[in-house]
Amino acid sequence: MRICAVTSFPPTVAGVADYGAFLVEELARDGRVEHVTVLADHVDGAPDHEVVTRRVEVLRVWERDRADIGITLDRAIALTNADVVWFNLGLTMFGTKPAAVTAMVTPLAARLRGRRTVVTLHELPAMADLATLGIGRVRGRLVNAVVLRALLRANAVVVTLDRYREHLVHGMGARNVTHVAHQVSEHVEYSDEPEDETVLVFGTFGPHKDPGLVARAVATLRVSRPGLRLVVAGADNPRYPGFMDQCRVAWDLADSWRGYVPRDELPALFADATVVVVPARASTGSSGVIHRAVAHGRAVLASDLPDHRALAREEDLALDWYRAGDAASLSDALRQLLSDPSRRDALVRHNRDSLARLSPRRMVDAYLAAFGRRDRVPSIAAEGHASPVLAVEPVTEA
């Protein structure tokens, strides 16, 4: 099978980019996959054309926030001989300017041209706190009312949380949606906790995920735990360039800030943590940070948000919780977890057993089933004015 993947891609720092790179890497290892062409975003310092392996090449053909992304991708897809085009989409992957929204209908254009299309949706506007995420109400309504229905015209739609599947199936009548859990690498690493108590905050940051909240909680705890360390690592969320420059000054994070950490240095970063805090005020789907933390054998303290709760329930992960946006609640929960090594050990042991059931092989099998499944309904051209949601084939959950 030849696959064309439309996704942001490292060195772009974003959860969607990490997910895309992970799945492309796992697909390329499978003997059923002949070649993967990645149509990625332009990034400073990254070549426009890169042959990653014998089976994977990356073409950087589009640029965030440009009005011509859709046209550019349409032309690039036409030049491939792929059997399926996979779109790995976040709400703002193509940018935050209104013109970038038009790129979200590229999957529909590809299907109208006869391509088999599969779309992964990492976020749903109807289930997100759009204001906290920095997405305007008008744009949110446009995406939910128009763009989402266009995306549902794909041959198959994948979501990473089952609560999203339930919304699309029961709330919008979709019959082509399947839930594929976010798997973790088979090469998980576990190490002893560091000698010094250390709190780690990792990810891409903005007002919706502010490490300043953790800095406040840690400052409170240092009254009784003067040796408590804070490490903040990651980068600005693309929606909020310059956010961490302001945050470092506001919360005096000069000694705590690690900045961007390359993938090969992540094991050492997590090994240096006692607890990983996920300080999101609004969630954006399944959390890659939570998956990384539990895969490296660390206890996680997460904000109590519906998506985080759904992730823990659906994948049988054990997490500790605090009220989202509440520094006092975070401080109390963090104090309890730091003071209870047996609790941390229990969380790690439980998650280790759960991760054993979440192998990349299951994820690859589920995607290849969606990529290769034959349509059991007419093409869009033959559908006439049928409902854009109801006129696609059913997909059995993997």
Looking at the structure, tell me whether residues 202 and 341 fall in a common domain.
yes
Please tell me whether residues 176 and 224 are part of one structural domain: no
Does a structural domain hold residue 388? no
pLDDT at 149: 86
Q: What is the CATH number of the domain that holds 252?
A: 3.40.50.2000
Is the same domain home to 325 and 372?
no
Q: What does DSSP say about strands 49-51 and 56-62: parallel, antiparallel, or unpaired? A: antiparallel
Co-location of 15 and 138 in the same domain? yes
Does 394 map to a domain? no
Q: Do 331 and 369 sit in the same domain of this protein?
A: no
User: pLDDT tens for residues 198-227?
Assistant: 999 999 898 888 899 999 999 999 999 999
Both 350 and 372 in one domain: the answer is no
Residues 274 and 145 in one domain: no
d(CA 162, CA 27): 22
Domains contained in the chain, number: 2
Residues 243, 336, single domain; the answer is yes
Q: Which of 97-106, 243-252, 292-301 has the lowest mean pLDDT?
A: 97-106
In a domain, 393, yes or no: no
Do 92 and 130 fall within a single domain? yes
Q: Kindly report, residue by residue over 272-309, the tens digit of the pLDDT.
A: 999 999 998 887 778 889 989 998 999 999 999 999 99
Looking only at the bridges linking them, the beta strands covering 117-121 and 156-159 are parallel
Alpha helical stretches, state H, 222-340: 243-250, 266-271, 288-295, 306-315, 327-338
> Is residue 46 situated within a structural domain?
yes
β pairing state of 320-322 and 299-303: parallel
Please tell me whether residues 202 and 229 are part of one structural domain: yes
Distance (Å, whole) CA 35 – CA 203: 31
pLDDT at 344 over 60: yes
Is 314's pLDDT higher than 50?
Answer: yes
Residues of the chain with pLDDT > 90, as a percent, come to 60
The token pair that represents 63 in the structure block: 């640029």
- Residue-number span of the structural domain to which 99 is assigned: 2-183+361-383
**Structural domain contains residue 395:** no
Does residue 137 sit in the same domain as residue 245? no
Structure tokens at 378: 């007419």
- Whether residue 167 is contained in a domain is answered as yes
In Å, how far from its chain's centre is CA 348?
22
Whether 143 shows a pLDDT value over 70: the answer reads no
Give Cα 108 to chain centroid, integer Å: 22
Asked whether residue 398 carries a pLDDT value surpassing 60, the answer given is: no
Reported confidence tier of residue 125, pLDDT bands at 50, 70, 90: confident
The type of residue at 129 is: D
CA distances from 339 to 79, 223, 323, 343 (A): 58, 15, 19, 9
| Average pLDDT of the residues in 17-41 | 94
In a domain, 109, yes or no: yes
The yes-or-no verdict on residue 239 having pLDDT over 80 is no
Q: Determine the average pLDDT of the residues in 327-347.
A: 97
Residue 386 has pLDDT above 60, yes or no: no
* pLDDT value of residue 128: 66
**Most confident residue range from 123-127, 137-141, 179-183, 346-350:** 346-350
Looking at residue 129, its pLDDT comes to 61
Higher pLDDT, 394 or 132: 132
Q: Are residues 306 and 378 in the same domain?
A: no
| Residue 286 domain flag | yes
At 388 the pLDDT is 30
Structure tokens at 33: 């996959």
Indicate whether 359 pLDDT > 50. yes
Q: Is the pLDDT of residue 389 over 60?
A: no
pLDDT at 182: 78
Average pLDDT of the residues in 330-334:
97
Q: What token pair was written down for 272?
A: 């240096």
Instruction: Measure the CA–CA gap between 239 and 217, rounded to whole angstroms.
Output: 26
